[in-house]
Amino acid sequence: MARTTDKLKSFESNYEKLEQLVQELDAPDLTLKQSLDLYEKAIKLSQSCEGALEYARQKAQALADVRDDKDDSGEEPIEGVLDL
């Protein structure tokens, strides 16, 4: 499985591909097999996008928590890398 940071890098590309697949699924002349193949690809891209968004949400929450800790104590937080 791809690392989460790699998913972030490819999020926009994957999202564009997902939009394209959705448009292709609307075609009236698709066979059932073609529809299922496109649907399977769309699900995989959707899961990748969801993973990237969840990582981004967690990272944003962690940054907000660090900021809240700073505001509560009046001191600068110790610098470091957020390990999500």
pLDDT at residue 37, as a whole number: 97
For 58, the token pair is 């967690």
Contacts of 23 (CB under 8 A, 6+ apart): none
pLDDT per residue as tens, the chain (84 positions): 456 677 678 899 999 999 999 999 999 999 999 999 999 999 999 999 999 999 999 989 999 888 777 666 665 555 655 555
pTM given for the model: 0.67
Q: Hey, how many other C-beta atoms are within 10 angstroms of the C-beta on 29? A: 5
Domain definitions of the chain by residue range: 4-24+34-73
pLDDT at residue 35, as a whole number: 96
